[in-house]
Amino acid sequence: MNYAVILAGGSGKRLWPLSREKRPKQVLRLLDGETLLRNCFDRLKQIFDVRNIIVLTNSGYVDVVNENLTELVQDNIIAEPAVRDTAGAIGLISTILNKYDPDATIAVVTADQIIKPDEVLQQAINDAIVFVNNNPEKMVTFGIKPTFSSTTLGYIKCSNSKKVQDCQNKIYSVDAFREKPDEATAKKYLEDGNYFWNSGMFVWKAKTILANIEKYLPEAIEPLAKIRAAWHSPAQQEVLKEWFVKLPKISIDYAVMEKAENIHAIKLDCSWLDMGSFAALADIINSDENNNIVIAEKSELLDCKNSIFVTEDKKHLIAAIGLDDIIIAHSPDATFVCPINQIHRIKELLEAIKKNKGDKYL
């Protein structure tokens, strides 16, 4: 059977004070009143039975996921008791599905990506499922056609595109995964034409990714075996809490994909954004005549330009005079003001808040 898995465990510290430890970025209502998680779910339910859509999230986010996805089957929210990066999350859900459906095919997506139009990804996922079901030893990732020489994204090098029966998209061979490059290397990747941005989305058989985790990340074997044995038993949560933290804290790219064989890719020629910071809003929100990005029901700006103003509070007025290259983000109990060129220091700020003000504002 085919399953969709949404990875929704990230907190999104770079979107503070809107995102919090109990309210992650994927449930912020920044997209015409909708959330990233909702958009992701709606995209998937067009091609998957809702009963086969599963959300993996932090244990602290279960309630907000429930509130956001009311039609999701309760048992389909898997709460991770600790942060263990994508290798742990993927190992966990693959182990659970493989226990009850040894032939399970899984599409793994993340909740914090904006993809337009939806149909491009939907068709690519359908094609990847057809390809993997016909070639169960192979794994598929999705590469984004780059539009500029990004130094903040990983890349995949692809070659030998082939037309495959019953697939509208061509299937590429993946030659290598490349980490975030410097500016000169990123320009070479863009000019080359065979390098795509690494989307962090995948399609594979549960049994295939588990075999690769066993081969390349042997430290995960015992924890996953313990969790598998206890799943749906009275000891399920106790064993999950005890053994999940023993999984290596590493991404699936580092742990498996950079080393594995039989990796293929489908190119996505679409508008794509990994929603990681306020600055990213400029790529999805139309600016005003002074190049300001405004997400607010009520605002009054005098002589402001190149700035970002954000609030989810429909009753709150944001008013400003003479600002240039400034971010102002308002939440009910905290307001963040920062020059755009200093946004990279937000984690430093949060550490200071934690030290001096405790966890109340985090």
What is the Cα–Cα distance from 194 to 326, expressed in whole angstroms?
A: 37
The per-residue pLDDT for range 165-194, each reduced to its tens digit, is 999 999 999 999 988 888 899 899 888 989
CATH number at residue 65: 3.90.550.10
Per the structure, the complete domain to which residue 52 belongs is given by: 2-274
Same domain, 104 and 251: yes
| Pair 62, 134 in one domain | yes
User: Could you tell me if 252 and 350 lie in one domain?
Assistant: no
For residue 189, the Cα-to-chain-centroid distance in whole angstroms is 23
**Peptide bond just before 146 cis, omega within 30 deg:** no
Between CA 343 and CA 293 the distance in angstroms is 15
Q: Which of 251-260, 272-281, 340-349 has the highest mean pLDDT?
A: 251-260
pLDDT band at 12 (very low <50, low <70, confident <90, very high): low
Residue 107 belongs to a domain? yes
Provide the pLDDT for residue 345. Answer: 87
Share of the chain above pLDDT 90, in %: 62
Q: How far is CA 285 from the centre of its chain?
A: 20
pLDDT band at 32 (very low <50, low <70, confident <90, very high): low
pLDDT of the residue at 356: 92
Which of 240, 274, 308 is the last residue before a domain boundary? Answer: 274
DSSP 7-28: EE----GGGTTTSBTTB-GGG-
Q: What's the mean pLDDT in 33-52?
A: 91
Q: What is the pLDDT of residue 266?
A: 96
In a domain, 49, yes or no: yes
- Tens-digit pLDDT profile for residues 280-330: 777 667 789 999 999 888 999 999 999 999 888 888 999 999 999 999 999
- Burial class for 344, CB neighbours closer than 10 Å (0-12, 13-18, 19+): exposed
Alpha-carbon dihedral angle through residues 55, 57, 59, 60, given to the nearest 10 degrees: -110
Question: What pTM does this model have?
Answer: 0.85
Domain count, the chain: 2
Specify whether the CB–CB gap between 334 and 328 falls below 8 A: no
Last residue of a domain, one of 245, 274, 303: 274
DSSP state of 129: H
Considering the domain architecture, whether residues 46 and 131 belong to the same structural domain is answered as yes
Candidates 169, 167, 146; CA nearest to 157 is: 146
Q: What is the pLDDT of residues 185-242, one digit of tens each?
A: 989 988 898 999 999 999 999 999 999 999 999 999 999 999 999 999 999 999 999 9
What pLDDT, in 10s, does the model give residues 62-110?
A: 888 888 899 988 889 999 998 888 999 999 999 999 999 999 999 999 9
Of 240, 255, 274, which marks where a domain is finished?
Answer: 274
Same domain, 153 and 67: yes
Considering the domain boundaries, does residue 362 fall inside one?
A: no
pLDDT of residue 276: 67
The 3-state DSSP class for residue 53 equals strand
For residues 330 and 231, membership in a common domain is answered with no
| pLDDT (0 to 100) of residue 82 | 87
Assess whether 321 and 181 both reside in one domain: no
- Where is mean pLDDT largest: 4-18, 114-128, 204-218, 341-355? 204-218
CA dist 194 and 214 (Å) reads 30
Query: Cα separation of 200 and 125, whole Å?
Result: 13
Read off the pLDDT of residues 126-170 as tens digits, 9 standing for 90 and up. 999 999 999 999 999 999 988 888 888 889 999 999 999 999 999
Mean pLDDT in the chain? 90
Do 167 and 288 fall into the same domain? no
Q: Are 302 and 346 in the same domain?
A: yes
